[in-house]
Amino acid sequence: MTDERAYVLDHIADLHADLDAWLRIPSISADPELAGEVRRSAEWLAEAFRRTGFPTVEIWETPGAPAVFAEWPSGEADAPTIVVYGHHDVQPVDPLELWETPPFEPTIRGEELFARGALDDKGQVAFHLLGLRAHLAATGRTAPAVNLKFVVEGEEESGSPHFAALLRERRDRLDCDAVVVSDTTMFNRETPSVCTAMRGLTDCQVDVHGPDIDLHSGSFGGAVPNPLTVLCELIAGLHDADGKVTLPGFYDRVVALTDEERAKFAKLPFDEQQWITETAKSRAPYGEAGFTTLERIWARPTAEVNGVWGGYTGPGHKTIVPTDAHAKLSFRLVADQKPLEVQAAVKQYFAERTPPGITVGVHFYGDGVRPCLTPIDHPANAAVVRAMEQAFESEVLFTREGGSGPEADLAEVLEAPVVFLGVGLPDDRFHAPNERVVLPMLHKGAEAAAHLWRELAVTDLSR
Amino acid sequence: MTDERAYVLDHIADLHADLDAWLRIPSISADPELAGEVRRSAEWLAEAFRRTGFPTVEIWETPGAPAVFAEWPSGEADAPTIVVYGHHDVQPVDPLELWETPPFEPTIRGEELFARGALDDKGQVAFHLLGLRAHLAATGRTAPAVNLKFVVEGEEESGSPHFAALLRERRDRLDCDAVVVSDTTMFNRETPSVCTAMRGLTDCQVDVHGPDIDLHSGSFGGAVPNPLTVLCELIAGLHDADGKVTLPGFYDRVVALTDEERAKFAKLPFDEQQWITETAKSRAPYGEAGFTTLERIWARPTAEVNGVWGGYTGPGHKTIVPTDAHAKLSFRLVADQKPLEVQAAVKQYFAERTPPGITVGVHFYGDGVRPCLTPIDHPANAAVVRAMEQAFESEVLFTREGGSGPEADLAEVLEAPVVFLGVGLPDDRFHAPNERVVLPMLHKGAEAAAHLWRELAVTDLSR
């Protein structure tokens, strides 16, 4: 047994006691009436960092809920600097009546701990406290082997509205060689895995204008362009028969999956039929030819129609050629696509294909979200894999995520590779009643964190 | 000068007096509070028929407003039987403030008579009263040369909700060899013309179902079929690159335009650019390749999208793969297309093209409206043309109409050719403030009607 594991197993009660205290604080960032509780959660965490030995601990104010910053320099020359990201706010709890035990009264049943935030994300922040102590104890160090910085925000469950600005404002304090995100899941309990990428996003509204008034389809139909027909044709034209997106240059920057990553994906025990019917509540797979379902949602960009409206949509019928048609479109992006280039391609697509007599306006919501990708053979990922393998004593596979939250901001603002150390399980019911964390997973998380600082200390992150 | 014209010119004051009385009755069928006025309008007309000499005049009740029936047998063996259709109800008058003189105070300014119903349709029914007297005077007859029946309904401006049922109920009383509709316009003042066809219609709602819940487009986008994308592809597929409708068998029954009719259409002084920009408030023509704008709206069937909705349509953005998508589609039909066959083709189209994982429901509104067509060389049309030519002393051209109202019911229930004797002008502002009739047109209508009974009496309508 490694010294790290021995320490973790000896001190599990400390981790449970930490969580029991922290999880009793109802830090729901979406509820303005609980703003005081979110602050109390930040203060609890700041105190826990101090207790653990961090010499610098600060509450960082934002226009919304406060974040917690903690820093512990290694003291070693040339030690890499690591930022750990997590969040201390939690999801709302309704419907309350579906909880078997109250959401803010942490309850252990068997090997599971039930409470709102047990996994997402207090559990995955708390395991770092024990993990770091195990790292120090096992290595006999008085400071971590890497320069450690934690930034734990308080508004992730509200969409991180102020986090990107906070990162930019505190850019110098957060300078680092890699970011470790602890807010994700593994493939399943038997399959430890590391997330390596998140898709980006850019989305827009398309406004199509035809006649200046709704026209009688008997008197005019067939002789003037119908904006709804044109919109449907333009949307239909976004994909070819192979399900590929036809936007000019859309795939030019896409980083192809490597044979190794595809092979690792294929080793995941993924039941496509179950995912389609039970998870996606759908009846058939669909997508870009030549890719599996997992590859489609993790590693390929998309063009989706999120909404369409125009013309008469009430009860009964009204036979018009309508004046207007509208759609909301979103594009999921993968490394190294750039949201602004995709926006330009979308505008070019509509400009080039709009037929005479129709005008099309395309309005994008902001600058979009960049995709992020840390290749599976990147030294930082290799370090995470080694740490996980020591904790789980099992081959570590790779996953990706189809969407992203603040991770994209971390990668973009801090200009550092983002890696993921997460031990949640897909059925941990985060965001739902009876959220839980499986305690053996939590302990493995602490142990993997303990290994990780030692592994990263000997990793060249300059690549 | 023909005896008919001489009589009309000598008795114009009678026509003006009739209209002055009738137009003062605000017979707006859409206004339930004016139901008594619509009845008073029917009673006025019944009395006018009696006054003109009709031996049989009846008020026909419906669940809505009453119709007026009048019958005057020719007395000649083998005389053809003609039903004349018109309506005695009028459009609402709002916005009232835009009328230069009150809508129910008929006012003559120059050669125009202004009032609600001046053209549509009291003017075009009233000219028949003078026309018939001119016919009798000019021919020295005591009864018309044809068996004449009038059916003048009271709900046309409300969509004729009870007219088809009335026709079926009174089918035996309305038995005839041809129907003359006096409720349409000529091409313009300088171009007397006869309408020969009206398009039919069938329309439906299409409901497309994808996932059973709205899905996060990051987690699922690209791997399950999106019902909005599928709906857009299905709608886009309804037309080929030439603007032809792709429904199976859609054109099989379409009666092709004859070279003669196309040549006559081409003689119409139609300013396409003006029609597109000023009438259709559009910016470019569009439609089936190989046909002119007039041919497209008059003689070719269409598939139009009247409305589409689905997914997120509110402010801002919500990046979902939606569970449902919907559209309202209408198909304008031309002779000899059958609405029920088109409905079957639409259902077949969607059934064959729906991809796996998507379900599509198609719900049609009723059995549709049949198109009607009386060819330009049909003897009944030839008689109308001769009557018009004598009145206007000018070549009579042909038009069609892109939609239809009760005319389709007349053709279908009475199983007789429908011809059109109308002298309205496109800019007579029927349905708008300051509706007018141009008095010389009204007089020509009376004269043409006088000629028509004589012409039809010598026409073999058995074809």
Q: pLDDT digits over A375-399, tens only?
A: 999 999 999 999 999 999 999 999 9
Q: Which residues contact A281 (CB under 8 A, 6 or more apart)?
A: B211, B212, B213, B215
In tens, the pLDDT along A42-64 reads 999 999 999 999 999 999 999 99
Burial class (CB in 10 A: 0-12, 13-18, 19+), B179: buried
Burial class (CB in 10 A: 0-12, 13-18, 19+), B240: exposed
Q: How many domains does chain B have?
A: 2
Q: Which residue of A has its CA nearest to B302?
A: A222
Burial class (CB in 10 A: 0-12, 13-18, 19+), A141: middle
At residue B405, the pLDDT reads 82
Q: Are A193 and A394 in contact (CB under 8 A)?
A: no
Cis peptide before A18 (omega within 30 of 0): no
Same domain, B113 and B71: yes
Same domain, B232 and B126: no
CA distance B195 to chain A (A): 14
User: Is residue A320 less than 8 Å (CB to CB) from chain B?
Assistant: yes
Q: Which of A209, A274, A306 to mutate to test the interface with B (most CBs of B within 10 A)?
A: A306
Same domain, B54 and B162: yes
Q: Give domain status of residue B276, yes or no.
A: no
Q: What is the CATH number of the domain that holds B242?
A: 3.30.70.360
> CB-CB: which of B223, B287, B312 is closest to A287?
B223
Inter-chain touch A218–B201, beta carbons under 8 Å: yes
H-helix or E-strand containing B122?
A: helix B122-139
Q: Which residue of B has its CA nearest to A215?
A: B280
Tell me the chain B residues in contact with residue A325 when contact means C-beta distances shorter than 8 Å. 308
> CB-CB: which of A222, A229, A283 is closest to B305?
A229
Burial class (CB in 10 A: 0-12, 13-18, 19+), A13: exposed
Q: Give pTM, 2 decimals.
A: 0.92
Inter-chain touch B307–A313, beta carbons under 8 Å: yes
At residue A463, the pLDDT reads 58
| Mean pLDDT within A394-410 | 92
Same domain, B143 and B178: yes
CA distance B321 to chain A (A): 6
At residue A317, the pLDDT reads 86
Closest to A282 in 3D by CA, of B218, B350, B322? B322
In tens, the pLDDT along A108-154 reads 999 999 999 999 999 999 999 999 999 999 999 999 999 999 999 99
User: Is residue A289 less than 8 Å (CB to CB) from chain B?
Assistant: no
Q: How many CB pairs under 8 A join A and B?
A: 294
Residue B362 scores a pLDDT above 90: yes
Tell me the chain A residues in contact with residue B311 when contact means C-beta distances shorter than 8 Å. 305-308, 328
H-helix or E-strand containing A150?
A: strand A147-153
Residue B410 scores a pLDDT above 90: yes
Residue A404: φ, ψ to 5° = -150, 160
Q: Are A441 and A424 in contact (CB under 8 A)?
A: yes
Tell me the chain B residues in contact with residue A313 when contact means C-beta distances shorter than 8 Å. 307-309, 326, 328
Same domain, A222 and A120: no
> CB-CB: which of A224, A236, A283 is closest to B232?
A236
Give the ipTM.
0.92
Tell me the chain A residues in contact with residue B408 when contact means C-beta distances shorter than 8 Å. none
Same domain, A235 and A88: no
Q: What is the distance between the alpha carbons of residues A209 and B345, in angstroms, rounded to a whole number?
A: 30
Taking CA A84 as the corner, what is the angle to CA A82 and CA A90, rounded to the nearest 5 degrees? 175
Closest to B240 in 3D by CA, of B229, B226, B252, B250? B250
Closest to A228 in 3D by CA, of A100, A338, A325, A349? A325
Q: Are B449 and B131 in contact (CB under 8 A)?
A: yes
* CA B439 to each of CA B111, B118, B425, B429, B436: distance values in angstroms, whole numbers, following the listed order: 6, 10, 11, 15, 9
Q: Band of the pLDDT at A404, cuts 50, 70, 90?
A: confident
* C-beta atoms surrounding B272 within 10 Å: 12
Q: Give domain status of residue A293, yes or no.
A: no
Query: Which of A364, A381, A399 is the last residue before a domain boundary?
Result: A364
In tens, the pLDDT along A303-355 reads 999 999 999 999 988 999 999 999 999 999 999 999 999 999 999 999 999 99
SS3 B96: helix
Same domain, B319 and B388: no
User: Is residue B254 less than 8 Å (CB to CB) from chain A?
Assistant: no
Tell me the chain A residues in contact with residue B316 when contact means C-beta distances shorter than 8 Å. 365
| Cα dihedral sign, A305-A216-B335-B276 | negative
> Mean of the per-residue pLDDT values for chain B?
96
Same domain, A232 and A320: yes
In tens, the pLDDT along A250-292 reads 999 999 999 999 999 999 999 999 999 999 999 999 999 999 9
In tens, the pLDDT along B383-395 reads 999 999 999 999 9
Query: Which of B340, B364, B388 is the last residue before a domain boundary?
Result: B364
Q: Which residues contact A133 (CB under 8 A, 6 or more apart)?
A: A7, A11, A14, A52, A53
Q: Residue B74 is encoded by which pair of tokens?
A: 């020719």
> Mean of the per-residue pLDDT values for chain A?
96
Tell me the chain B residues in contact with residue A334 when contact means C-beta distances shorter than 8 Å. none
| Mean pLDDT within B253-259 | 97
User: Is residue B225 less than 8 Å (CB to CB) from chain A?
Assistant: yes
At residue A367, the pLDDT reads 92
> What percent of chain B shows pLDDT beyond 90?
96
CA distance B388 to chain A (A): 24
Inter-chain touch A232–B228, beta carbons under 8 Å: no
Q: Give domain status of residue B271, yes or no.
A: no
Query: Which of A364, A382, A417 is the last residue before a domain boundary?
Result: A364
Chain B segment 331-350 residues within 8 A of A by beta carbon are 332
At residue B216, the pLDDT reads 92
Tell me the chain B residues in contact with residue A322 when contact means C-beta distances shorter than 8 Å. 305-307
Same domain, A236 and A326: yes
* Burial call B98-134: b when 16+ CB within 10 Å, e when fewer: ebeeebbebbbeeebbbbbbbbbbbbbbbbbbbbbbb
Inter-chain touch B403–A313, beta carbons under 8 Å: no
| Mean pLDDT within A85-91 | 97
Tell me the chain B residues in contact with residue A233 when contact means C-beta distances shorter than 8 Å. 232, 235-236, 239
Q: Which of A245, A313, A354 to mutate to test the interface with B (most CBs of B within 10 A)?
A: A313
Q: Tell me A128's DSSP state.
A: H
Bridge partners (DSSP) of residue B373 are B197
Bridge partners (DSSP) of residue A309 are A326, B309
Q: Are B275 and B303 in contact (CB under 8 A)?
A: no
Inter-chain touch A284–B320, beta carbons under 8 Å: no
| Mean pLDDT within A198-213 | 96
At residue B403, the pLDDT reads 86
Q: Residue A393 is encoded by which pair of tokens?
A: 């004593």
* C-beta atoms surrounding A407 within 10 Å: 23
Q: Are B352 and B344 in contact (CB under 8 A)?
A: no
Inter-chain touch A305–B276, beta carbons under 8 Å: no
Chain B segment 259-288 residues within 8 A of A by beta carbon are 276, 280-288
Residue B178: φ, ψ to 5° = -160, 155
Q: Give domain status of residue A286, yes or no.
A: no
Q: With left for phi above 0 and alpha for psi between -120 and 50, is residue B249 left, alpha or beta?
A: left
Inter-chain touch B226–A282, beta carbons under 8 Å: no
Closest to B370 in 3D by CA, of B422, B328, B410? B410
Q: What is the CATH number of the domain that holds B15?
A: 3.40.630.10
Burial class (CB in 10 A: 0-12, 13-18, 19+), A235: buried
Q: Which residue of B has its CA nearest to A231?
A: B232
Q: Residue A387 is encoded by which pair of tokens?
A: 């740490």
Chain B segment 181-210 residues within 8 A of A by beta carbon are 199, 201, 203, 205, 210
Looking at residue A335, its amino acid is: A
Same domain, B357 and B219: yes
Inter-chain touch A305–B219, beta carbons under 8 Å: no
* CA A354 to each of CA A231, A362, A372: distance values in angstroms, whole numbers, following the listed order: 9, 12, 33
Inter-chain touch B284–A355, beta carbons under 8 Å: yes
Residue B107: φ, ψ to 5° = -135, 130
User: Is residue A293 less than 8 Å (CB to CB) from chain B?
Assistant: yes
Q: Give domain status of residue A272, yes or no.
A: no
Same domain, A360 and A376: no
Q: Which residues contact B304 (CB under 8 A, 6 or more apart)?
A: A217, A221, A222, A226, A229, A319, A321, B329, B330, B331, B332
Q: Give domain status of residue A322, yes or no.
A: yes
Q: Give domain status of residue B291, yes or no.
A: no
Residue A237: φ, ψ to 5° = -75, -10
User: Is residue A325 less than 8 Å (CB to CB) from chain B?
Assistant: yes
Inter-chain touch A220–B280, beta carbons under 8 Å: yes
Q: Which residue of B has its CA nearest to A243?
A: B222
Question: What residue numbers bound the domain in which A28 lies?
Answer: 3-198+371-457
Same domain, B193 and B207: no
DSSP A254-278: PPPPPHHHHHHHHHS---HHHIIII
Inter-chain touch B305–A226, beta carbons under 8 Å: yes
Residue B46 scores a pLDDT above 80: yes
Say if strands A397-401 and A193-198 run parallel, antiparallel, or are unpaired.
parallel
Q: Are B96 and B67 in contact (CB under 8 A)?
A: no
At residue B463, the pLDDT reads 58
Chain B segment 362-421 residues within 8 A of A by beta carbon are 365, 401-404
Inter-chain touch A328–B307, beta carbons under 8 Å: no
Q: Give domain status of residue A357, yes or no.
A: yes
